[in-house]
Structure 1
Amino acid sequence: MAAAPGLPIWERKVRVVLCIFGLFLSVYALHVELSRESNPDYMAMCDLGASVSCSKVFTSRWGRGFGLVQFFVAKDNPLNQPNSVLGIIFYTLQMGLGLPLSKKAALFLVLASWLSVAGSLYLASILVFVLGDFCIVCVSTYIVNFALLFTNLKRRRAIEGMKEKAG
């Protein structure tokens, strides 16, 4: 599919790569969390030491609903999903809404990206200051979220420029 005039040619390819990588990270995080819940002795590939353990992070209270949903509903409530499930939804929406050249879709992509970056900063601070852990999967996800924000800002600017030239 050819890029629309004014839209950076790299944008769609970068979006696909970032979303697929984000989906991979989210599915892996979900796998680790579910494996650890069913087998407390499970060791994930990303568990490299006492303070470098994604399993520890994913199974902490902040691994579900950002550690906040449980204040409003019971821990086992269907609304209190693992953060990785939210990631799967987020990256799927980013991929799907990145297809149309819609001003509304571009605005939604940017707003969702800002929300994901805010969530990344919140979870990164929990990772460092509360858990005292390093999670390579988490940090990789934060990088993907920042890169998607950059990509979405470029897309929105280009679409607004196309609409102004057409009008």
Structure 2
Amino acid sequence: MAAARPALCVAGAALSLYALHVPVGAWPRVGGAAAGAVGVVFYLLQGILGPVRGRGASAVLLASLWLAAILAFVLHDLCLVCISTYGLNLLLLRLNLRRWRQRPKTH
């Protein structure tokens, strides 16, 4: 399971890099930056902050699920790359929740 987080983050970054190569008008922008660029930074931060005790990484993942709900139920759009990244985010969230449930090791 130790390799799961890096593998998921690499897959997410790869999907985000793919999104950068799609024509600009087809992908949303976040604060003026292409969503794919934001995704690369997001997965880099998940890889770095995910193993650290705390809830910051999970809070961002929950925000991602909110964006998935907007995509599906408000915009009525199903983007394969977006859905794939939301699936990766669910798996990352599951890893975080599993880590929280583990008791700290005492020596």
TM-score of the superposition, structure 1-length normalised? 0.55
Q: Pick 1 or 2: higher relative contact order, CA cutoff 8 A, min separation 6.
A: 1
Amino acid at match of 2:96: N
- Alignment partner of 1:106 is 2:53: yes
Residue 19 of structure 1 contacts residue 92 of structure 1 at CA under 8 Å; is this kept in 2?
Answer: yes
Map Cα deviations across residues 17-58 of structure 1 (whole Å, 9 max, x no partner): 1111111111111121xxx13xx7xxxxxxxxxxxxxx3xx1
Residue 19 of structure 2 contacts residue 36 of structure 2 at CA under 8 Å; is this kept in 1?
Answer: yes
Runs of 4+ in 1 over 3 A off after TM superposition: none
| Residue 115 (structure 1) shift | 2.0
Equivalent-residue separation in structure 1 for 2:29 and 2:72 (angstroms): 14
Q: 1:127 to 1:29 in 2, by over 3 A?
A: farther
Please show how residues 1-167 of structure 1 align to structure 2 within 5 Å: 10=1, 12-32=2-22, 36-37=23-24, 55=26, 58=27, 63-65=28-30, 69=31, 80-98=32-50, 105-107=52-54, 110-130=55-75, 132-158=76-102, 161-162=103-104, 165-166=106-107
Residue 30 of structure 1 contacts residue 82 of structure 1 at CA under 8 Å; is this kept in 2?
Answer: yes
Number of residue equivalences: 107
Q: 1:129 to 1:153 in 2, by over 3 A?
A: same
Equivalent-residue separation in structure 2 for 1:146 and 1:125 (angstroms): 16
Equivalent-residue separation in structure 1 for 2:19 and 2:50 (angstroms): 24
Higher radius of gyration, 1 or 2: 1
Map Cα deviations across residues 77-116 of structure 1 (whole Å, 9 max, x no partner): xxx21222221112112222356xxxxx221xx3223223
Amino acid at match of 2:12: G
Q: State the identity %.
A: 36
TM-score of the superposition, structure 2-length normalised? 0.80
Give the CA RMSD over aligned residues.
Answer: 2.2
Equivalent-residue separation in structure 2 for 1:82 and 1:156 (angstroms): 33
Aligned residue for 1:162, secondary structure, equals: coil
Residue 17 of structure 2 contacts residue 36 of structure 2 at CA under 8 Å; is this kept in 1?
Answer: yes
